Amino acid sequence: MHKTIRKILLLSDSGDVSLDYKTGTTRNVALLRSFYLHCRAKGLTAKTVKDYLHRMSYLVNLANHLGKSLGGISTDDIKEYIVRVLDTVKPVSINGRVKVWRIAYQYWYSEHLVENDPTIGIKKIHEDVVIKPALTVEQLELLLNSFDKKRFTGYRNKMMVLTAVDTCARVGELVNIRLPDLDLNDRIITLHHTKGHRDRNVPITPQTAKHLYNYIYRFRRELPGDHLFCYKDGCPMDVDRLRKILVARSQKLGWPPLGPHCLRRSGAQYLHNAGMSLELLRRLLGHTDIRTTQTYIDSSDMVTLKDTQERLTVLNRIHVA
């Protein structure tokens, strides 16, 4: 990450920036710090803010390359940047950077910190939507049964996978489930730490509720803390550790590396194939835009289409000699 970005978190509240920055960078630091504080005040997670600052570092590099301050960047400067990197950077990455720049400039402009917003008129680059495949039902069964539920870690890992697929929870939501969030009688889990900071209730199947009860009764209730998925000392499971567990397990099974998001996507595709409407699926996944939900299930549409056609076609009622 660019040194200007790294240093903004070290600045005192007085704004003292007596550091050896390039021309115009002192002003850049003030703008970046104001944007950082704006993001934190909005309640964005530390991970999201870190990602924002990383993408802002490309804007700082552009400003330094042009010898300008961030407030002096023009629309043409951004367009020329896009054209220059388009051959080496994926459209989705460019769009992600420009999206954050737009958020920053909209804030700065609204606060009269810059005279203009150069992102106005910058259109999103077309992205080829690549639908990542989900686990097959057979693969999911093999994965779940590969964990040793006689041991705490094995049963915990098994339940993380089962819960992720059943609830279609994001990985950050999954690892932050606490025991008070569970209602095993009504088969409801309340998910916190969600995108948009809107808690949501998700149902679980009787099978998952039964396994969660057994996991809690046999292992989890004897440990300190109240996170559902934790280490033996009661400390909550973290996202990076879950990723490593899944990668190691997929390698043991002879599969390509498996990530937590594949479990969420797989759960969504299973439900869609079974007939769940797109709107209900959107609510379960916690999406605000149904078009985002659409990207989760496009790869399974042909399966659904074939099944529906086979059941409903008029050819079922006639004989073709």
Distance of CA 73 to the CA centre of its chain: 30
Residue reference for tokens 């699926």 = 281
What's the token pair of residue 127? 């992205």
- Ranges of residues in the chain with a pLDDT under 70 are 1-25, 128-132, 196, 298-321
Listing DSSP states for 166-231 in one string gives: HHT--HHHHHT-BGGGEETTTTEEEE-S-GGG--EEEE--HHHHHHHHHHHHHTGGGSSSSBSSB-
For 18, the token pair is 């007596």
The pLDDT score that the predictor gives to residue 27 is 77
Q: What pLDDT does 28 receive?
A: 82
Q: Which residue has the tokens 């400039």?
A: 105
Reported pTM: 0.67
Are 297 and 266 in contact by the 8 Å Cβ rule? The answer is no
Q: Label residues 61-81 b or e (16+ Cβ within 10 Å = b).
A: ebbbeeebbbbbbeeebbeeb
Domains defined along the chain, listed by start: 3-110 (no CATH), 137-309 (1.10.443.10)
The letter for the amino acid at 106 is Q
Distance in angstroms (rounded) separating the CA atoms of residues 236 and 21: 41
Per-residue CA distances from 128 to 54, 131, 197 (Å): 24, 10, 29
Q: What is the pLDDT of residue 46?
A: 80
Q: Which long-range contacts (CB under 8 A, 24 or more apart) does 101-107 make?
A: 101/55, 101/56, 101/59, 103/52, 104/31, 104/35, 104/52, 104/56, 104/59, 107/34, 107/35, 107/38
Helices marked H in the chain — which ranges? 3-8, 25-41, 46-66, 75-85, 91-110, 137-145, 152-167, 171-175, 206-218, 239-252, 260-273, 278-285, 290-297, 301-312
Which string of DSSP letters, residue by residue, matches 108-133?
HHHTTSSS--TTTT-PPPP----PPP
CA distance 103 to 113: 14
Query: Residue 184 and residue 166: Cα distance in Å, rounded?
Result: 14
According to the model, what pLDDT value does residue 126 have?
A: 84
pLDDT score, position 242 = 95
Helix crossing, 152-167 with 239-252: angle to 10°? 100
Q: With beta carbons less than 8 A apart as the criterion, state whether 288 and 196 touch.
A: yes
Cα separation, 130 vs 299, in Å, equals 9
pLDDT of 309 reads 63
